[in-house]
Amino acid sequence: MLERPDSGERAVIVQLDFGSDDIPEQLEEVRLLTQSAGAAICAEVYGNRRSPDPATFAGKGKVQEVAAGIAAHEADLVIFNHELSPAQERNLERALQCRVIDRTSLILDIFAQRAQSAEGKLQVELAQLDHLATRLVRGWTHLERQKGGIGLRGPGEKQLETDRRLLGNRVKLLKERLARLERQRGVQRKARARGEVLGVSLVGYTNAGKSTLFNALTHAGVYAADQLFATLDTTSRKLWLGDAGNVVISDTVGFIRDLPHSLVAAFYATLEATAQADLLLHVVDSASPARDDQVAEVNKVLAEIGAQDVPQILVFNKLDLTGLPPAIERDEYGRIQRVRVSARSGGGLPLLREALAESALEKVRTLRKAPPVGEVFPIPDTVLDSGSSL
Ligand SMILES: Nc1nc2c(ncn2[C@@H]2O[C@H](COP(=O)(O)OP(=O)(O)OP(=O)(O)O)[C@@H](O)[C@H]2O)c(=O)[nH]1
Ligand SMILES: [Mg+2]
């Protein structure tokens, strides 16, 4: 357990098992989430249940255990790695006399801390207000709120004591501002589309190494760190691929299991760019024991934002941790399925550039083709940098 940091809060984390087989991974994830939010974990409470207790989620005995943890470690807050109903949250806070936040609030708080762009900030605030709207009557937290802390940043400080009508006004205002920014971006996107450049988006589970890979490919110097949701704002750069010309590659926000729905909705505009990409590089932490689940989760969110049909190349990153050699793996039709790389050591990056170039050429070829049925035009690989209509 960590010592109390100079600033930062001490959290008791609670992980219950309802019969899932990936509890160790879920625990590891909530630890990282907690640290990413800036808190130190002073105690962990586990338990098994058949189903959540309607009143307190964890049940009476477990709540007592949590209370003991709070007392023993002078904890400032309790983090449930679960979704709590507003009533459960309220009951828990009453029983524990301590701030209680659920997984959604924790993730929203990290987003609130990281948001940089005007748009990102608006999107996060909108998601927080949505989450807060059902939790307006919390009584005792007013004093706590003045101190700030996880789950209390952002709209909480300003808004909690206002009524729903004010909240509604704020939501309306934020939506209008967002819509304006979206229109601006739509114009920019169209301008880019006219440039007829292939759009490639890096997508993947949070902490998979997207930003590290983006930097390795483009020397862009974006923020990459062993934190969940290090990236919130999309950054795009041109990437020269020799014969295949330029592509525009974008680093994007990472996904996570049970991404709060309000957040997906709020980030829809940002994620829409992903849905409109010509190609997705789906970056995977190939050394993670939860690798396959994470791939599935990412595909789930991609489907939610309408990007399920965008061609994907799986990039199995962190090869240095698995000891496997760099490689391009193809399916039985010779299509690229997977590229094994290490963004950190640079292993396999030339192969990834090759794979990207091949996909870019392939894409241009299909776009240029569209000949009358039955007719075939052989297109030389060298004449691909002008006149296509992406
Ligand atoms: N060992 C190893 N670590 C890597 C590799 N690529 C990235 N990392 C590390 O993984 C952590 C996360 O990297 P990021 O590039 O920030 O990951 P991300 O996918 O952009 O994460 P978010 O923006 O938080 O969603 C950092 O500590 C990186 O140094 C790799 O190839 N090998
Ligand atoms: Mg990142």
- Looking at ligand 1, which atom is closest to the CA of residue 231? 23
Nearest alpha carbon to residue 313 among 353, 357, 280:
280
Q: Is the CB of 205 under 6 A from ligand 1?
A: no
Domain ranges of the chain: 10-101, 117-195, 196-369
- Looking at ligand 1, which atom is closest to the CA of residue 283? 19
- Tokens representing 382 are 């060298």
Residue 155 has pLDDT above 70, yes or no: no
Residues with CB under 5 A from ligand 2 (ion): 210-211, 230-231
196-369, superfamily in CATH? P-loop containing nucleotide triphosphate hydrolases (3.40.50.300)
Residue 140 has pLDDT above 50, yes or no: no
CA 70, CA 259: separation in Å to the nearest integer?
28
Q: Is the CB of 224 under 6 A from ligand 1?
A: yes
Nearest alpha carbon to residue 285 among 226, 328, 218, 337:
226
Average pLDDT score over residue span 63-77: 97
CA 138, CA 238: separation in Å to the nearest integer?
49
Atom 13, ligand 1: residue with shortest CA distance: 209
Confidence (pLDDT) at 160: 53
Separation of 343 CA from ligand 1 center, angstroms?
Answer: 8
Q: Is the CB of 226 under 6 A from ligand 1?
A: yes
Q: Is the separation of the CB atoms in 127 and 260 below 8 Å?
A: yes
35 to 32, 150, 244, 308, 380: CA distances (angstroms): 5, 11, 42, 32, 53
Ligand closest to Cα of 215 equals 1
Burial 72-107 (b: 16+ CB within 10 A, else e): ebebbbbbbbbebebebbbbbbebbebbbbbbbbbb
Rounded to the nearest 10°, the torsion over CA 57, 62, 64, 66 is -90
CA 251, CA 292: separation in Å to the nearest integer?
22
- Looking at ligand 1, which atom is closest to the CA of residue 319? 31
For every residue of 249-302, DSSP letters joined together read EEE---B-TT--HHHHHHTHHHHHHHHT-SEEEEEEETT-TTHHHHHHHHHHHH
Q: Is the CB of 294 under 6 A from ligand 1?
A: no
Q: pLDDT tens across 313-364, in order?
A: 999 999 999 999 999 999 999 989 999 999 999 999 999 999 999 988 887 7
Average pLDDT score over residue span 152-169: 62
Q: Is the separation of the CB atoms in 30 and 13 below 8 Å?
A: yes
Identical fold at 10-101 and 196-369?
yes
Residues 6+ apart with CB under 8 A from 214: 202, 220, 222, 224, 235, 237, 249, 251
In the chain, the amino acid numbered 264 is V
Residue 259 has pLDDT above 90, yes or no: no
Confidence (pLDDT) at 386: 31
- Tokens representing 135 are 């939790």
Strand order through the sheet with 327-330: 235-240, 246-251, 198-204, 279-285, 312-317, 336-340, 327-330
CATH number, domain 10-101: 3.40.50.11060
Atom 7, ligand 1: residue with shortest CA distance: 209
- Tokens representing 39 are 């808190």
Q: pLDDT tens across 265-308, in order?
A: 777 767 777 888 889 999 999 999 999 999 999 999 999 888 99
CA 30, CA 12: separation in Å to the nearest integer?
11
Atom 2, ligand 1: residue with shortest CA distance: 318
Separation of 103 CA from ligand 2 center, angstroms?
Answer: 20
Indicate the pTM of the whole model: 0.81
Separation of 208 CA from ligand 2 center, angstroms?
Answer: 8
209: alpha, beta or left? (left if phi > 0; alpha if psi -120 to 50): left
Average pLDDT score over residue span 154-162: 54
